[in-house]
Structure 1
């Protein structure tokens, strides 16, 4: 009996002073995804694109396959973690050893290498190989996840501008080739795949943070997004959705303006327009007898509604 009473008084959960964190972001395996056969399609225009950004129409004819299309998907070996894997025909991700592998860089036709560094570590070996092969080098320093999410739009613009420069430089040749960008970090398992996942979210049609991480992990099995990186990518997806919503509103407003002599016309309900009150009007409101009627502000705010908060009886 005493044992039963002691069990009743035992706490079910330990009390903690730790602040609550965001819920975990679950990324199911690609074989469990309901969109396994979904085709990868480029968006018509990146969200952060401006009038000065290059035209990426040359990427449209490139076949991207499906979300689960990967020739090396079923045969992953441990030593492949030290190699780079192709995510898109023009974009690969991997570790530092892959950026020093001269044979790999020549075989895959790498035209730019982008280092994602948590701290400004020297890259003499990578720089030496890059200079020998004439490969462009970029280094993005991301000491924390706050700087990482800020770098996402910048890294996407760098990649796209390089691809456009390579294409334009070969425009006069009979068969121009695409540029090929290798994004790498120390182990190639966290921050560089996060940059690639952000690029997929920006460039592919209807790809959220879950689908982007699934594609990266299906190509490179050793990728391990921690919870902070997952929440960073989820926050970036929310930012992209907000930007696209604003662009959609602006596009609709521009369409309406074109039908009204290039003058933006906003729909207003009759009687809702109000002018800025002068100080004399505000002083008169202070002396108003509350039993004589409805306040002017309330009358304007509730104009057109059937229920008024204060009405004379």
Structure 2
């Protein structure tokens, strides 16, 4: 049986999915984030090894048996020093060269559109847009949480924390968001939030992103500041889509296939709705609900790359 391995590395978790020739999932495993900027290169590789060992154990095979593997890794393609080290580590884990590495944005596109031309917006822990058109590839956004990742869970959480400080100061009226942050973080004093988030034992990127539901719940309770944050998140993601369609060369009147992935857009209706609404007012799009999750997308992309590689090798031998 030919088995393809897909790895979708995210800011919160990493999913390992194996599919067969028919595209059926035959093994699956989860580990924690492989975001090397947060956990370090060695720990990221250890977690890759953990997930790889799990799916191999389920299938009763060794890593050398995979026909092809694709690793979609967070922040890959953004560091000329770390990227080759990560790629080499993946090769060592597999024990062969039938693999490729790229940014995890590819997994979202490959899953949601089943590797068809079009664009995908990822809004999870971070945010990024990726698409393909007639062999052309492009990305927008995804510059990192320090000064970008608009519309992501991390960004929403940071905007929510900012709104909390404004409410505490009296710069804006206090709404349900204020009490939610106090309760969730167990604050005896509002200023305790500084140590909770930024102190010696403060919160990592994924933990901060995990505060985004506080903003969503506050919006459901009628908090105007929270509603504004989520509306702006949707608008920012729609802006990424507009930049991406232009970069890929779609015409202004062309209905561009578009889908989405990541917890913010798949689970938070109060972000997805303004996102889709903004899209429809800016340019024509063909809205496509995600066909597969990013993990399956990684497996499908591995199968696609295997086919391309085998055709190239066949052509060279003639």
Where on the TM-score scale, by shorter chain, does this alignment land: which range?
A: under 0.3
Larger relative contact order, structure 1 or 2 (CA cutoff 8 Å, min sep 6): 2
> Normalized against structure 2, the TM-score is what?
0.23
> Normalized against structure 1, the TM-score is what?
0.23
Name the structure where helix makes up a greater proportion of residues.
Answer: 2
